[in-house]
């Protein structure tokens, strides 16, 4: 596949799980892929060099935050997001729908779009499907997301149906506003809460419009893993085989494994970076709170099975000291390890799919996680 066009190539499959590559204007990335979240044009506590060293191939930035500061047109004048943040690889930008729901004040949703007050200064802004696409074009995002309404988990019945129908109309308007260019793609977003009929209707509407990729939104908002997997079981088979499938905002390691088993190709979540800043590490034996006093005299690495620069260069005792002393380096090292762990998990799953061992991998992963952070790590 030429890197000059946007597209997905499936390279292997094992059951519903699949491995592949996505080609964009700024290079390729392997799937299943985990995107580090760089909401405001930075992955917190990381430099582009440490991101690359951790194995990151694609990062995510956010329309809502960047439209508020420094402004999309300013980023455009400064050469676009890749130049602005010194990240030469692919970038996906979320359209801001979730942030409008979760952060903005006094939001009003109409057919035209959404008016809201900024959580920063209270200024009133309007985000329409057309403006969301325009902002992402200014940012020079390789992957643009349609504007959707992210309904709260408690929304049901006719209110949820009306929200989904409006999001599908917004998706069509986003497609009309999108300037198709070589190497750039537009993803639709499936909505419907945990209502499988609405999810199927949403998938059919998105396929009718036609997109370069298809996201599943509105999950990981409190419905629980069992309900999330039930939705994926119902909706993923309704999404086109030839396009990448993206589960938005989902990032617990066992969620990732279960979703890959159900045919998901792409993920993003703030969990590994946010946890790194608060002293939580993800390891092959589950989560570790490095601030616990028991780590103060522990000369072992965070994860004896990990080959990252943190695990090969620093002890738990030192990381415990940095975090308890609130030293910036503690957040940097913990974040670096967590992103390396997530990228390694993706790499291991790709290898398992390519060799037909994904079911065995999932079982071994669950068994190791269940053992916990025992002294024989």
| Largest pairwise CA distance in the chain | 60
CA distance 227 to 134: 35
Helix (H, G, I), strand (E, B) or coil at 103: coil
Q: Is residue 236 reached through a cis peptide bond, with omega within 30 degrees of 0 on the bond before it?
A: no
Q: Please identify which of the residues 94, 140, 265, 303 carries the catalytic annotation.
A: 94
CA distance 217 to 150: 8
- What is 198-264 written as a DSSP string? HHHHHHHHHHHH--SEEEE-S-SSSS-HHHHHHHHHHHGGGS-TTS-EEETT---HHHHHHHHHTT-
- Calculate Rg over the CA atoms of the chain: 20
Residue 136: which of 102, 164, 170, 95 has the closest Cα? 95
Beta carbons within 8 Å of 171's beta carbon, 6+ residues apart? 129, 146, 148, 188, 189, 205, 206, 209, 211
Give yes or no: 140 in active site. Answer: no
CA distance 366 to 368: 6
Q: Please identify which of the residues 268, 298, 303, 373 carries the catalytic annotation.
A: 268
Strand-pair partners of 17: 14
| CB-based burial label for 66 (10 Å; 0-12, 13-18, 19+) | buried
Give yes or no: 94 in active site. Answer: yes
Q: Is residue 32 reached through a cis peptide bond, with omega within 30 degrees of 0 on the bond before it?
A: yes
Residue 204's CB is within 10 A of a number of other CB atoms, namely 11
Residue 308's CB is within 10 A of a number of other CB atoms, namely 23
Angle at the Cα of 34 from the Cα atoms of 30 and 40, rounded to 5 degrees: 120
Active site residues: 94, 268
């Amino acid at each position: 596949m030429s890197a000059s066009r946007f597209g997905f190539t499936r390279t292997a499959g094992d059951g519903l799980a699949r491995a592949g590559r996505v080609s964009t204007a700024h290079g390729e990335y392997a799937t299943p892929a985990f995107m580090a979240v760089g909401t405001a044009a930075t992955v917190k506590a990381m430099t582009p060099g440490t991101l690359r060293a951790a194995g990151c191939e694609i990062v995510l930035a956010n329309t809502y935050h960047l439209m508020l500061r420094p402004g999309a047109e300013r980023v455009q004048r400064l050469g676009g997001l890749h130049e602005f943040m010194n990240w030469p690889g692919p970038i996906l930008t979320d359209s801001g729908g979730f942030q409008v729901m979760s952060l903005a004040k006094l939001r009003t949703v109409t057919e035209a779009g959404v008016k809201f007050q900024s959580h920063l200064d209270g200024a009133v802004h309007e985000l329409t499907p057309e403006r969301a696409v325009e902002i992402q074009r200014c940012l020079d995002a390789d992957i643009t997301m349609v504007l959707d309404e992210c309904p709260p988990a408690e929304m049901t019945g006719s209110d949820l149906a009306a929200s989904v129908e409006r999001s599908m109309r917004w998706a069509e308007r986003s497609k009309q506003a999108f300037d198709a260019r070589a190497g750039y793609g537009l993803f639709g977003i499936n909505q419907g809460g945990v209502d499988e009929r609405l999810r199927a209707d949403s998938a059919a509407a998105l396929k009718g419009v036609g997109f370069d990729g298809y996201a599943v939104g509105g999950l990981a908002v409190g419905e629980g893993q069992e309900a999330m997997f039930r939705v994926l079981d119902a909706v993923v088979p309704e999404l086109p085989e030839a396009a990448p499938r993206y589960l938005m905002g989902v990032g617990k390691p066992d969620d990732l494994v279960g979703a890959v088993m159900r045919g998901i190709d792409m993920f993003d979540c703030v969990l590994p970076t946010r946890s790194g800043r608060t002293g939580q590490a993800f390891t092959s034996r589950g989560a570790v709170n490095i601030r616990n006093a028991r780590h103060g005299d522990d000369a072992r690495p965070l994860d004896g099975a990990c080959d990252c620069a943190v695990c090969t260069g620093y002890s738990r005792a030192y990381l415990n000291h940095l975090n308890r002393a609130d030293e910036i380096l503690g957040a940097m090292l913990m974040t670096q390890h967590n992103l390396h762990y997530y990228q390694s998990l993706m790499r291991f799953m790709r290898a398992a799919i390519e060799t037909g061992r994904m079911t065995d991998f999932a079982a071994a992963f669950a068994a190791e996680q269940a053992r916990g952070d025992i002294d024989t790590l």
